[in-house]
Structure 1
Amino acid sequence: MNKNKGYFAWFVQIFDNIEKYEPAYFKEPYTECVIGLVMLQVQTIRRMYECFFVERPSAGATMHVGLYFLGLAFYLVTGLAILIEGIGNIGILNNKDKEFTIPYTTFLSWNISLAILIFIYASYHQYILHKNLALLRSKDSSKSSLYFIPKGDWFDYIASAHYTAEIIIYFSFVILTKGFILTIWLVFIWTVVCLGVVAKNSDEWGKEKFGENWPKNRWIIMPYIY
């Protein structure tokens, strides 16, 4: 084994031959790795802020411990997915120090500019949608178990609009990498499948609970698709 390839390569070689994977570790430009990690950090911090200061869960709301750890693992794995196919370009495989500077002209490239704009747009709407959900409950939500139909912003057209925003956020990472990075596609597909299932269950629950009052002209999660 070449000891100059770094600790990550050493870890991979425990299980398999690093040489056949090496080309993939240089596939993604380091600028996309860095910008992607910044975007994920913004997403993580915003969601954490919303969990502590915006959202108002109902009385007796619980989460299975398995889902809790799955959520934590998702953010950890997503961070790895963003840089795994460009990890060699930031010096981890070859132990070379990289100067993490991104020229302003980089942001003129179509994929980076479009990804950042879509990320900001979807993030803003998801924040508004979460605020709308929170406003459905009183501040002392621990004493309330009442449910109301979400309205306002994208909720007027999509039943699980906050999930729609989440999907668009992770699609911005696909755009950032021009659709060339398999691990980013896997994160996106995982997000679509999981949130699609949850959205379908939520829609069925809403129909059962609210009956005729449940809006019939809204999409479940993706306009013109589902």
Structure 2
Amino acid sequence: MDPSSFSPAQWCQAFFFAVGLFIVSIHLAGPLSLKINWLGYGPRTLGAGGGGARKQPATAVAIAVPSRVSVPHSWFISFYYTSVLLSAFWAHQLSTRGAIAMRLVRWQAAAGGPSMTVTQVALLWAMMLFQGLRRLLECVLVMKLSAKSTMWVMYWVAAEGFYLCMSISVWIEGSGAILETPDPVAALDPLSIANARTAIALVFFLSGALLQNQSHRHLASLEKYSLPSAGMFKYIICPHYTAECLVYLGLALAAAPEGRVLNTTLLAALLFTFTNLAISAKTTRDWYSEKFGADKVAKKWNILPFVF
């Protein structure tokens, strides 16, 4: 199949679905080494699909651990440096009609389909920049990222790929409007997005941002590897994961072209985010159960209230 037959948006969607399928496959039927490498990090490094406190057979761990090429968990902050820098790069490219952006724009526009407006593109770019800056500041000022904890290098690579795709996904489905607008900056019309859908999208987005910040502040205030119990942690194992999903739901709603409820590419990003974080939340539940007792988390949802 000719790679050029796929649009940039479809390549981004393919990345989200392929990595999401890989994660699910590891969780359901992956070998022990992959479960340890992908699903385990920080205190759960030696847990395979369960909790870090769960002891694996010595031979299994001996086989699995040498295959783990790790990077410090503190490298987590690099995801948000990447996100912010790419937001700045695409802002310059799109506002000046740079060669890289325009090549992608023409490629995407040739595929046809409904387009976001240039005002939507500006809004989505601002939302993504806000998310990247907020998470970057949380990593610097709030979260405790230990250099002693580690994560698998392939997890780090996949996450960097995710933010690269996200930096494109927030504007690529606006290529039709970008191509038809000689001066995108002059064409901005805030009143064109002053509607109920944008309002609902911003409620989801900002609520998720607030909940995530509150959750990370509570986690940072705890003794190392303690059981969180304040705020939404009373009801959900990982409310900061729930918050992340709300953020991406807001993005997918705000970026929907006319005639659609959600932006297709950002819906794929949302599904990827939920899949990855739902599995991590289940792993966290198992770890909490073994460390603090199953009764401590029995009445809590993993990530999605009343569902999972």
**TM-score if structure 1 supplies the norm length?**
0.81
* 1:34 partnered with 2:116: no
Moved over 4 A (4+): 6-13, 17-20
| 1:103 counterpart residue number | 189
- How does 1:1-226 map onto structure 2 within 5 Å? 10=103, 21=111, 23-24=112-113, 27-57=115-145, 60-91=148-179, 96-100=182-186, 102-137=188-223, 146-178=224-256, 179-212=261-294, 214-226=296-308
1:82 Cα deviation (Å)? 1.4
1:34 Cα deviation (Å)? 1.2
Structure 1 residue runs of 5 or longer lacking an equivalent are: 1-5, 138-145
Closer, same or farther: CA 100–158 of 1 in aligned 2, 3 Å: farther
Give the partner amino acid of 1:204.
D
Give the partner amino acid of 1:106.
S
1:29 Cα deviation (Å)? 1.7
Contact 1:37 / 1:82 at 8 angstroms: preserved in 2?
yes
Give the partner amino acid of 1:74.
F
Count, aligned residues: 206
| 2:61 counterpart residue number | none
Percent of pairs with identical residues: 26
Distance of 1:95 and 1:67 partners within structure 2? 39
Closer, same or farther: CA 189–111 of 1 in aligned 2, 3 Å: same
Distance of 2:110 and 2:176 partners within structure 1? 14
Contact 2:121 / 2:171 at 8 angstroms: preserved in 1?
yes
Secondary structure of 1:49 counterpart: helix
Secondary structure of 1:63 counterpart: strand
Secondary structure of 1:154 counterpart: helix
Closer, same or farther: CA 218–27 of 1 in aligned 2, 3 Å: same
Structure 1 vs Structure 2 CA RMSD = 2.5
**TM-score if structure 2 supplies the norm length?**
0.61
Structure 2 residue runs of 5 or longer lacking an equivalent are: 1-98
Contact 1:31 / 1:102 at 8 angstroms: preserved in 2?
yes
